[in-house]
Structure 1
């Protein structure tokens, strides 16, 4: 008999909201002492200054952090600065709490160029919005030894050999938006997106591994590539049996995510498979009972955030879907990230908008049997 995985929504909360700022792309960790940390990207709300809409590239986007010491009942009113990149706007801080208490944050950045500089940049790297022209700076990591009160870095991962150049003379360090993983072997695993030379729009996935808590990285394997399907934002999880599973957002594939599996610690990967789930993008959490909670944004009407509970080996994606939010004002929302609290509840964080309002960081509490 197939077991059902009951998940019940308890309530929605607002974690951080300020009408002056566009807040998005959160990640969350539950510390061993019960403290909750939520990192997110914050930029000015440009519509207050005449912009025709919202943008995900901004020269003043910084990495911020808020805390809760009462299991999410209240949050710090003023966010703390993790990092303000000196050359560009930072994106999507991805938190990882290591077993020795060290915190890592992975991010990446866009640099604003003058017209003369834009003429020198590789065409594929230019991102144009509101008359601005940006080029891609690649990824970096920040590290904290004191629960995020102080940060050191940036740590620059290597540029992969196949990565296309973006601007003359600048390296493009490896990057990704998605959950890094500290495996049961103590190593840190990171699925990164690579824009290959010759066809940089057709991004592929590679695996980097660190035995130095994020200080240095080695390329271990190619995860997936395809001539038609674009692979990008990827989260990793380790199953109860020790497999590494990559949960991948795609483009050109009807908004379906794909799953890629390794049974040898990322030395090799099985062919990618359609998970049959529409999401933007995905993050997974191993629950206390070994089952896996999959959360993802939903950028079709009704706009919102959704979840499923998977088997401990992350092979069956056919279970019932729970709509956590269906009241989004438009598709500019989602990017959920979850953690399990000391009392057994799960907090799913995400960014949200109501009726075209200013984007803010919100959350939903779940009860999981």
Structure 2
């Protein structure tokens, strides 16, 4: 199966602004909205200025949209919460937002206080007098009047160094909301969970995904998709380079042990949607040379993936963001793949010497949706030769 590019567009791009990690809302009548953080330096804490842009022409043009019925505009105490949460409209009046709270900016003088409370701290990307602080707090927020007022609850998860939700959740046909959560406990073991609701979204449970612990990240940022009634597929980023796959056959209550797929996508999370022809589309950033945005199809509900016919949407990335000098990137290392890459990565993991972030030029976190005419809209962030990290999109179709 081949693809045809209809158009590529820049959603937002500005010199001196680091724009990354887009979140996509698909609205009525093919209206699209994208939310992202505008930061003044390379920012993986997502702590900049939250921005929502909307398009009514399939992504050709974009403008600011502050409509409060757009889930991206629903209130939140932190920018990172807006990026990590899952949002669901149960009806025209009832809205639900849930996930983890994310990073808060604190004055650096309070760093010892944050550490004493067991909070995870990280240098603020561009303000030296601040730090980014994260506690392990889950939340739900419910509005029954179209977002005019909200009822919020929060829960702290003990024993963890860091805990994060990932905005690739789903609502099942029976009504339950499933939100992927992952983190590292204070002993260094990795864990995966689901923040799972009942059908009306009022009661929530944190459910362990897999009865295992590991000092390797077998699963991380996960995308969820109900492939058939009661059957849920989870595909996730991990430390092995190939996506990990796990299944639930009971509406997300229990899960199979993760296995590696044949989809090669190191350092990059997947996005899953089901197309109208029954195929499953997995879209992802490809962070090895030649870097760009790729997609792969499954024609059997995710049991196998047609990697021989991988779809290349972009392959013009591979440049470090303007925050770094060119020589900080080992371009030869970026060409390594397959067994040699896994050998080097495994050695780094064992020795706690992970490949530096500068060896992973910024792109990815792709999201896709199918439009009413069956074309596919994919958005992502990417850094080209001008080294301005920005949000872009591609409208394409399968031949």
The answer, yes or no, to whether TM exceeds 0.5 is: yes
- Which digits, 9 at most, give the CA deviation of each residue in 1:84-134, with x for residues without a partner? 865675563555454635665556421233344222334782223555532
State the match for 1:49 in structure 2.
Answer: none
State the match for 1:260 in structure 2.
Answer: 246
Q: Secondary structure at the match of 2:110?
A: helix
- Which digits, 9 at most, give the CA deviation of each residue in 1:310-340, with x for residues without a partner? 1241111243211211111242111001111
State the match for 2:27 in structure 1.
Answer: 31
State the match for 1:82 in structure 2.
Answer: 73
State the match for 1:170 in structure 2.
Answer: none
Of residues 10, 13, 20 in structure 2, which corresponds to 1:14? Answer: 10
**1:362 & 1:143 partners in 2: Cα distance?**
31
When the two structures are superposed, what TM-score results if normalisation uses the length of structure 2? 0.74
Aligned length: 342
When the two structures are superposed, what TM-score results if normalisation uses the length of structure 1? 0.80
Q: Which is further off, 19-28 or 152-161?
A: 152-161
Cα contact 2:21–2:36 (8 A) shared by 1: yes
Cα contact 1:62–1:89 (8 A) shared by 2: no
Structure 2 residue 260 is matched with structure 1 residue 274: yes
Q: CA deviation at 1:281?
A: 0.8
Alignment of 1:216-295 (within 5 A): 216-223=203-210, 225-230=212-217, 231-240=219-228, 242-251=230-239, 253=240, 255-279=241-265, 280-295=268-283
State the match for 2:110 in structure 1.
Answer: 117
State the match for 2:339 in structure 1.
Answer: none
With over 3 angstroms needed to count, the CA separation of the structure-2 counterparts of 1:237 and 1:88, relative to structure 1, is: closer
Q: CA deviation at 1:250?
A: 1.2
Structure 2 residue 88 is matched with structure 1 residue 100: no
**1:73 & 1:268 partners in 2: Cα distance?**
42
State the match for 2:156 in structure 1.
Answer: 159
- Which digits, 9 at most, give the CA deviation of each residue in 1:231-253, with x for residues without a partner? 321111111354111111113x2
Structure 2 residue 62 is matched with structure 1 residue 65: no
With over 3 angstroms needed to count, the CA separation of the structure-2 counterparts of 1:209 and 1:107, relative to structure 1, is: closer
Q: CA deviation at 1:194?
A: 3.2
Q: For structure 2, which runs of at least 5 residues remain unmatched after alignment?
A: 321-360
Structure 2 residue 379 is matched with structure 1 residue 339: no
- Which digits, 9 at most, give the CA deviation of each residue in 1:193-212, with x for residues without a partner? 1332432xx33111121236
Q: CA deviation at 1:154?
A: 8.3
Of residues 122, 138, 143 in structure 2, which corresponds to 1:127? Answer: 122
Cα contact 1:348–1:365 (8 A) shared by 2: yes
State the match for 1:310 in structure 2.
Answer: 298
Which structure shows the higher helix fraction?
Answer: 2
Cα contact 1:121–1:135 (8 A) shared by 2: yes
**2:386 & 2:142 partners in 1: Cα distance?**
35
Root mean square deviation, CA, Å:
3.2
State the match for 2:170 in structure 1.
Answer: 181
Q: CA deviation at 1:78?
A: 6.5
**1:134 & 1:286 partners in 2: Cα distance?**
37
Structure 2 residue 204 is matched with structure 1 residue 192: no
**1:238 & 1:116 partners in 2: Cα distance?**
47
